[in-house]
A and B are shown apart, each in its own frame.
Chain A
Amino acid sequence: MKIITVDDSSTMRRIIKNTLKRIGYGDEILEAGDGKEALDVLANNSVDLIITDWNMPVMDGLTFVKHIRADSKFDDTPIIMVTTEAAKEDIITALKAGVNNYIVKPFTPDVLKDKIDTVLGKKD
């Protein structure tokens, strides 16, 4: 399982990486500090799952998701947004843009595992 985590906070990237290892999804984890950097990484790598923040400089998470969804190469790649944004309209905007699931920070390992299992179809 190859996963990319996109967040401008190096602390959050570290926490997500560590949590992924703990819940059994830590085989290979790529990192990017913003949406543009993530697109550059994904130009040369394929991944099984994208975990992205929303509020980032240079290219925010929503724009990044729209870029990803506009590329047929990523049609089957699930995206989970992990963000502080908790307003209903923001959640709907993200889901409509192509996000498969949504997590509000701070999250627990159980929540992350549950959401990953859901988007990967490992859960009913």
Chain B
Amino acid sequence: MSQSDIDSLIEEFSKAEKGNIEDIIDEFTQESSEKELLKKESEEDKQTNLKDDGNGSGQEKIKGVRLPENEHRVIDKLDEINRESEEKVNKLFEYLETITDELDKTEKLIQEIKPYMEKHKEFMDFFVEHFPKTVVKNNYEYFKNIIDITKDIENSVSVIRDSVFDAMDTLQFQDITRQKIERVISVIKALHDYLNMWFDSSYEDKPRARVAHTIVDEKEKGKIDQDVEDIIKQMQEKGEI
């Protein structure tokens, strides 16, 4: 007997004259038995109709209607999209980390050769100053070019590194997008659960994170950060934290 059956029974009891109670019990017992029988028949009917379509595809049918294969079911598909995008973003992150590692090596090499170049420049400065008419002067111009190129490489390394870091920071949007998809999944699940009440189907679900209430619009981010600071300050002033 369901909770609503019990509630109805209690309500009938509270309304009934004492003499009618036995009649109510009889009536309810009969109704419950009929409901149980109907439920059993429905289960058997479902089992009969929920079966393989017979062509070896493993695809199920309900009342002759072919159900979508697992990979085409919306929640599974959205989960797969989330999983794949996370995998790809992690892969992308690996590439970006490789770039930063190589930039580190390049920067280290530049730092290593810099003192030698400085020494060499001092040496050549001395020669050019004291022996201006020798061939050293031409080499000196080439060398100054090399120093300038090295500085350019150093600047490029710095610009590339900043861009790679910006790219890494931007990858946070994968997580934010994932949570937006999770919200869509929660709506589909709610709809599924509602329909479930009528059609008595079931969906095996995995443990899920609580769905985000609010996902900040990028344009409002500055204001939100300031709001967080204000709330923390107010609570600290009130001694609440």
**A residues apposed to B, CB below 8 Å:** 7-12, 14-15, 18-19, 22, 54-58, 60, 83-88, 90-92, 95-96, 100-109, 111
Contacts and interface: CB of A to CB of B under 8 A. Distances in A.
Nearest to B172: A106
B173 interface: yes
B169 A104 contact: no
23 contacts: A9-B175, A9-B178, A14-B93, A15-B172, A18-B97, A22-B165, A55-B212, A57-B209, A83-B212, A84-B179, A84-B214, A85-B214, A88-B227, A92-B235, A95-B241, A96-B240, A101-B232, A102-B228, A102-B232, A103-B228, A104-B224, A105-B172, A109-B165
A24 B211 CA distance: 33
A111 B168 CA distance: 15
Contacts of A91: 227-228, 231
B208 interface: yes
B221 A87 contact: no
Contacts of B216: 84, 86, 104-105
B215 interface: yes
A12 B224 CA distance: 20
Given A15-B93, A102-B228, A105-B172, 17 more contacts: A10-B90, A12-B175, A15-B168, A22-B165, A57-B206, A60-B209, A84-B215, A84-B216, A87-B214, A95-B232, A96-B241, A105-B176, A105-B216, A106-B218, A108-B169, A109-B165, A111-B225
B231 A95 contact: yes
A102 B226 CA distance: 11
Contacts of B165: 22, 109
B228 to A, nearest CB: 5
Interface of chain B: mostly helix, strand, loop or mixed: helix
A59 B213 CA distance: 17
A15 B169 contact: yes
B213 A90 contact: yes
A58 B215 CA distance: 21
Which of B169, B174, B211 has the most chain A CB atoms closer than 10 A to its own CB? B169
B233 to A, nearest CB: 11
A65 to B, nearest CB: 12
Contacts of A85: 212-214
A49 B175 CA distance: 22
A25 to B, nearest CB: 15
Contacts of B224: 86, 104
B210 interface: yes
A14 B240 CA distance: 33
A54 B213 CA distance: 11
A8 B176 contact: no
Contact of B225 (A10, A19, A104): A104
A100 B228 CA distance: 12
A12 B94 CA distance: 13
